[in-house]
Structure 1
Amino acid sequence: MKLESSITGSQQSFDSIQELLAKANEEKSGDELADIAASSAAERVAAKDALSRISLATLRENPVVPYEDDEVTRVIQDAVDETIYDEISDWTVADLREFLVDEQTTEEDIDRIRPGLTSEMIAAVAKIMSNMDLIQASSKMVITARCNNTIGSVGSLSFRLQPNDPTDDIENIRHSIREGLSYGVGDAVIGINPVEDNADNTKRLLEMTKEFIDEWNIPTQNCVLSHLTTQIKAVKNGAPADLLFQSLAGTEAGNESFGIDIDLLDDAYEFGKEHCTGSGPNFMYFETGQGSELSSDAHAGIDQVTLEARCYGLAKRYDPFIVNTVVGFIGPEYLYDGKQVIRAGLEDVFMGKLTGISMGIDACYTNHIQADQNDIENLAVLLTAAGSNYFISVPMGDDTMLNYQSNSYHDASALWNIFDVRPAPEFAKWLEAMGITDNGRFTEKAGDPTVFLKNNQ
C-alpha cells in the first residue's frame, strides 16, 4: 500500500492511513496541539493528493482504531451494507468526490451508495473537498426525521429554542420561551441546558416545558440536556420527555469520559421507545464537536475531523431526530479562529448528511476564540445554502448560562427570507394560526412575547 506523493516536486510518504488522514486535514489548532498536523502547506497538499488516490477498500480495511480495540469502530463496520460496499470498494476517494459533486448525481444516487460507506471514507472525501464542494454536495442530500413534527423537509429550516438560565429559574426560562416562539423559533426542539444535573431538576424543567407546549398546542418537542442516565431517572419518576439527549465521542475512550458506552445507549434507545412522550418514531438527540476527544485525552492520535465523522457513524445506529455539532464552543485550542470554525461547520454538516442523519449545528463561538458575530452569521448563511436541518438560537445571540455566542432568535427570519424557506410544516401552520405569520411573513405580533400570556388573549 503506497501512501506517497510527489505533487509538490519532492517525494513525500506517510506511514499509515491514520497519519495520512491527519495530515490531509485542513489547518486545525486541535491537530497541531495533538502534534499530528501537516508541518507545512506543501505536506498538506501532498497528503491530500495521496489520500485522493487510495481506494475506499483501503479505508474500510484500515479503520483508525482497530476493530478489536474499539466498540465505535465495531458499530460503524458492522453497519456496512456489504452488497453496496462491494459495488463501490474499488472507487478512490477522488472518485467519491467526483460522484458527489457531479451535477448529474441526484439525492437518490447518494442515498443508494450511503449504506456502503464507513466514517473513515466520509472523513477522507471531506478532506479533499473545497468549502464550495461541501456546500454543493450537502445541498443535494435531504434527510428528514419526525418526532412531534417533521424536520429536514425540502424548503424548511428549523431552530432549537435554547432558553438557558444561569440559575434554572423557571419564570426566566418561561419568558425566554415566549420570546423565542414570538420570533418563530422552536420547531426543532425547546431544549434547556440545566445548571443542576440531577433527576429532580430535570423533571421540573421537563414538566414546565411540556406544560407550556400543551397549553399552546405547539407542534414541537421538549428536551433537558442533562446526562442520559439523569434523564432516564427523571422519566422513571414521571417526567415527560419527548427526546433523550446525550453527547457523543468518536472513540470508546471518549465515550467513557462522557460516562456512556454502547450498552447504555442501546438500553436508552429501547427505554425511549417505550417511555418518550413524543409521537416519534425518532426520539434521540445527540451533540458532538470537533476536538472533544482531544479535550479528554481520548483521541488516540486521530485527527478531529475523522473522529467527528465517527461520532455520526455511532449516532446513526439510533436513528436520531436531531444531531448537532457545537462547532465553536470547545475553544481555540481545537478551532482557533473564524476561518477554522467555518470550515469545521461545513465539514460537519456535510459528513452528518452523508452519513444519513438529521444534521444541524450550533454556529457559535466563545469569547476567547478569534471569531466574532460576523463569522457566525457567515457560517449560518453558508450552511443554510448547504441544507442544514436546523440551527440553535439563543436570546440576542448571547447564552448567559453557557457564556458563549450563537445565532439569535431574530436571525431566523433573515435566513428564512434570504433563502425563501420556512419552519417545519406543522410549526409553520401553527405560527399562522397564532397570527405570528401571515402567508409566511411576520405580522405585527412577531417579536412580542406577551402573545403567550393568557391575559392578552
Structure 2
Amino acid sequence: MGLRGRLSTRLQPNHPTDDPSGIAASVLDGLLYGNGDAMIGINPATDSTSSIVALLEMLDAIIQRYDIPTQSCVLTHVTTSIEVINRGVPVDLVFQSITGTEAANASFGINLKLLQEGYEAGLSLNRGTLGQNLMYFETGQGSALSANAHHGVDQQTCETRAYAVARHFNPFLVNTVVGFIGPEYLYNGKQIIRAGLEDHFCGKLLGVPMGCDICYTNHAEADQDDMDTLLTLLGVAGINFIMGIPGSDDIMLNYQTTSFHDALYARQSLGLRPAPEYEAWLEKMGIFTQTDGRVRFGDSLPPAFRQALAHLA
C-alpha cells in the first residue's frame, strides 16, 4: 500500500439486507475487475452481532479459499469489533469512524481509550501480514459541525485533527468519505472536489495512509462527472486507495461513489498498478495482466471462479 505508481482499491460489496449471495456476487464482480487489494470491506445493514460474525466468517472463507493477498473488514462500531474478537472471530482490520474533536467523537460513542482498547484487541489475534497496522478509520469534513461539536473551528481544520487521532493508532488505512456528509456541508461538485484535494493533501502532510471515498449524495448539486474529475486529480496526486462499488451505486448506503471499472480507468490512463502482491495474484488467477499501461483480460472466465459463478446463478 502506498508505493509510488500504485493505486489500490477497497472492494465494497454492500447489500441492503446483508444477503450472503448478493455480497458474494459483488465480491466476485470486483475481483474480476482487479479490485480489493486494499481490502474487502462491508458496511453492514445492521449492527447485530450475529450478522457481523457471519459476514466476517464469510469474507475470511473467501480470502482463504482463493488465497487472496488482501484483508477483510466489516465496518461496525469498535465496541462490536472488540466483542467479536473476544469470541475468536477472524477480524483483520478494526474499524471506526472518527472526527477531530473530543465532543464529536463522544457523539460517535468513542474516545481515545476505547480506540486503544480496539487496537490492542486487534493485535491480540496476531492475524495475517499487517503487523501492528490493523486499524481502519473513516473521516469526512463536516462531521464535527453536524454534531454541533466544532467549537467554531472550520471543518477542514477539524478534519485534519481527525488524522492526528488516526496516526496515533498506526492505521493500515485512513480515508475521507468526502461527499457523504451532504450539501448542507459541501454544497456542490466543486466544493466536494476541493475538499477531496484538501483532505488528501493534509493526510499526506500528517503521514497517514490516505485514501478517498470519492462520493456524493443524491440530493447534492453534483454528478458522476465531478467524481471522474476528482478521481483523476487524486490519481495524479498519488492517492493510496479508492472505493470500488458495482456500477458506482451503493444500494445499501444510497450514495454514489467510484465503480470497479473506474479503478481500471485510473490505472490505465495514469499508468498506475495494483499492489505488487495483488498484481501477481491477478496474473496467477488468469484475471488480467497489465503491461505497457494496458490491462489485458483473460480470454475466458478464470477456472477458479467458474464454480462460484455457477453456484450464484
TM-score by length of 2: 0.94
Determine the C-alpha separation between the residues in 1 that align with 2:80 and 2:151: 29
Deviation of 1:198 (Å): 2.4
Tell me the residue number matched to 1:243.
93
For the 8 Å contact 2:41–2:73, the answer to whether it is kept is: yes
Deviation of 1:195 (Å): 0.7
Count of paired positions: 306
Aligned to 1:259, the other structure's residue is in SS state: coil
Determine the C-alpha separation between the residues in 2 that align with 1:213 and 1:289: 29
Determine the C-alpha separation between the residues in 2 that align with 1:388 and 1:158: 9
Deviation of 1:359 (Å): 0.1
Q: CA deviation digits over 1:342-380, x for unaligned, max 9?
A: 000000011001100100000000100000000001000
For the 8 Å contact 2:178–2:195, the answer to whether it is kept is: yes
For the 8 Å contact 1:250–1:307, the answer to whether it is kept is: yes
Q: Which stretch of structure 1 is more off in the superposition, 217-226 or 195-204? A: 195-204
Tell me the residue number matched to 1:394.
245
Output aligned runs, 1:137-148, within 5 Å.
Answer: none
Determine the C-alpha separation between the residues in 2 that align with 1:184 and 1:341: 27
Aligned to 1:190, the other structure's residue is in SS state: strand
Determine the C-alpha separation between the residues in 2 that align with 1:232 and 1:333: 34
Tell me the residue number matched to 1:405.
256
Tell me the residue number matched to 1:230.
80
Aligned to 1:407, the other structure's residue is in SS state: coil
Q: Is the alpha carbon distance of 1:270 and 1:178 closer, same or farther for their aligned partners in structure 2, counting shifts above 3 Å?
A: same
The letter for the 1-side match of 2:297 is T
Q: Is the alpha carbon distance of 1:439 and 1:334 closer, same or farther for their aligned partners in structure 2, counting shifts above 3 Å?
A: closer
Q: CA deviation digits over 1:165-190, x for unaligned, max 9?
A: 00000111011000000000000110
Q: Is the alpha carbon distance of 1:455 and 1:357 closer, same or farther for their aligned partners in structure 2, counting shifts above 3 Å?
A: closer
Tell me the residue number matched to 1:421.
272
Does 2:36 correspond to 1:186?
yes
- Structure 2 gaps of 5+ residues are none
For the 8 Å contact 2:267–2:273, the answer to whether it is kept is: yes
Match of 1:197 among 47, 57, 60: 47
Tell me the residue number matched to 1:442.
296
- Structure 1 gaps of 5+ residues are 1-150
Tell me the residue number matched to 1:320.
171
Q: Is the alpha carbon distance of 1:293 and 1:449 closer, same or farther for their aligned partners in structure 2, counting shifts above 3 Å?
A: farther
Which structure: larger Rg? 1
For the 8 Å contact 2:85–2:122, the answer to whether it is kept is: no
Determine the C-alpha separation between the residues in 1 that align with 2:65 and 2:146: 42
Determine the C-alpha separation between the residues in 2 that align with 1:367 and 1:449: 36
Aligned to 1:186, the other structure's residue is in SS state: coil
Deviation of 1:454 (Å): 2.9
Aligned to 1:269, the other structure's residue is in SS state: helix
Tell me the residue number matched to 1:97.
none
Q: Is the alpha carbon distance of 1:456 and 1:349 closer, same or farther for their aligned partners in structure 2, counting shifts above 3 Å?
A: closer
For the 8 Å contact 1:194–1:202, the answer to whether it is kept is: yes
Tell me the residue number matched to 1:454.
307
Does 2:193 correspond to 1:333?
no
Determine the C-alpha separation between the residues in 1 that align with 2:308 and 2:194: 47
For the 8 Å contact 1:249–1:255, the answer to whether it is kept is: yes
Deviation of 1:278 (Å): 2.8
Q: CA deviation digits over 1:229-255, x for unaligned, max 9?
A: 011111222211110000001000011
Q: CA deviation digits over 1:284-323, x for unaligned, max 9?
A: 0000000011111111111000000000011100111100
Tell me the residue number matched to 2:149.
298
Aligned to 2:203, the other structure's residue is in SS state: helix
Q: Is the alpha carbon distance of 1:178 and 1:404 closer, same or farther for their aligned partners in structure 2, counting shifts above 3 Å?
A: same
Tell me the residue number matched to 1:215.
65
Determine the C-alpha separation between the residues in 1 that align with 2:115 and 2:309: 44
Tell me the residue number matched to 1:154.
4
For the 8 Å contact 1:241–1:276, the answer to whether it is kept is: no
Aligned to 2:232, the other structure's residue is in SS state: helix
For the 8 Å contact 1:181–1:449, the answer to whether it is kept is: no
The letter for the 2-side match of 1:268 is G
CA RMSD of aligned residues (A): 1.6
Determine the C-alpha separation between the residues in 1 that align with 2:7 and 2:83: 33
TM-score by length of 1: 0.65
The letter for the 2-side match of 1:297 is N
Aligned to 1:286, the other structure's residue is in SS state: strand
The letter for the 2-side match of 1:197 is D
Tell me the residue number matched to 1:167.
17
Tell me the residue number matched to 1:26.
none
Determine the C-alpha separation between the residues in 2 that align with 1:234 and 1:347: 36
Determine the C-alpha separation between the residues in 2 that align with 1:286 and 1:439: 30
Tell me the residue number matched to 1:206.
56
Q: CA deviation digits over 1:130-177, x for unaligned, max 9?
A: xxxxxxxxxxxxxxxxxxxxx111111000000000000011101100
The letter for the 1-side match of 2:216 is Y
The letter for the 2-side match of 1:356 is G
Determine the C-alpha separation between the residues in 1 that align with 2:245 and 2:12: 5
Deviation of 1:449 (Å): 8.7
Deviation of 1:279 (Å): 2.0
For the 8 Å contact 1:206–1:224, the answer to whether it is kept is: yes
